[in-house]
A and B are shown apart, each in its own frame.
Chain A
């Protein structure tokens, strides 16, 4: 006898909770072959603002954690993702039409990337910081600090793309608001379930689904956002508009560029959203 399965409602992920869009809107998400997968929430300006508020509220607690502790949490995300890999393989394949082997490879790469960044949390300060030999009797030390709240347009690569933009941000202590791939938003929300069960404090990562062209400008011009990562913006005019809007409060902007997300990452996804603080103190008796 056949059983009627229980379908999941895909909602947003804001402040550690899974609310529907306050606008009440959804949009149809089909699989690669055009069959209905689900109705995803279509986030609004208000949702974007709520997400920024949650990210800001989470920032001081997250950035004040020890680097070791942040590493533990990011590693925990990898563990939980690995344990749910079967589900992600199915969802990635459904969203993209990837073969079983391709989907497995994408989940592998996503887990490995999380592990890679987990290890960076307590090393980046030693690579990006410096003890500066000033010409005088002063102790002088430069250390990196997170920029704050970063808004991200995630690339279309369903899981690896999302992990590749989020992991470096949170590894170094930023909090973020992510606009998930418009074409493959369901994997992102399932990934939010991983985050929610991995000791990541609510608000550290907030995930919106919907149209980047609609929500992006509100985030780019938001005066309480410190950085903007345009990785997933394919439309050059939109990218230019978002970068120009980001100038209102001089957000740090990472432009979209050609990049192979499956390649081994450089440090720039971390360093782009790090500030350098230099502290001086006199030496003497």
Chain B
């Protein structure tokens, strides 16, 4: 008793030092410096690049549509690629996402479904497009297939996650009425995830629009091919015109996506009133 009274109380620590996190920050800083030195990233090169960029920008203006036919064909093809890929991808990812949901499906169903989704997500659409160009030849078909794969990976994963977060109590009630499995899905599961699913689908349409302008670079159809050849011919004013058209198309797609969301999701709000 008396000895503890004599000793001064040990100082109390309000904030404990986290040595692990400190070490991680230091390691990160060291790696950044190392990587920059390896890749010869220097300020001089950046300044030099700015001058080239200015020259490039100067040649881009005023934009000039050199080949209107090629531009129009590319744009409509991109649009077609995006819509077909979205429609097909969404359709295929619905059952795959459902099979991948671990709260509703047995392991023998979730495991292969998850494997498919993981595979679809592994590679960037451009790499997939290269593979499909090799398989089915140059053109829109390869682009569509590549973006279908991307759509399955994205929507399938998010859809499965959305299903895994639903309230099983609502499902249980539908099940207790003796409903067959498909009716349990239609009445117990879909109403709970439909709103989010529309969100994923419109986002994917948006993303497919952007990606459809790019798969053309590797020969998989769409405006990307036109853009790439204009670059190679140093027709920078045509490049600029193409880029402006792409911006217009993406913005139109954004508006369309918003409209779709409104049509499908506002309906519920109206019902409440």
Tell me whether A and B are bound partners.
no
Chain A interface residues (CB < 8 Å from chain B): none
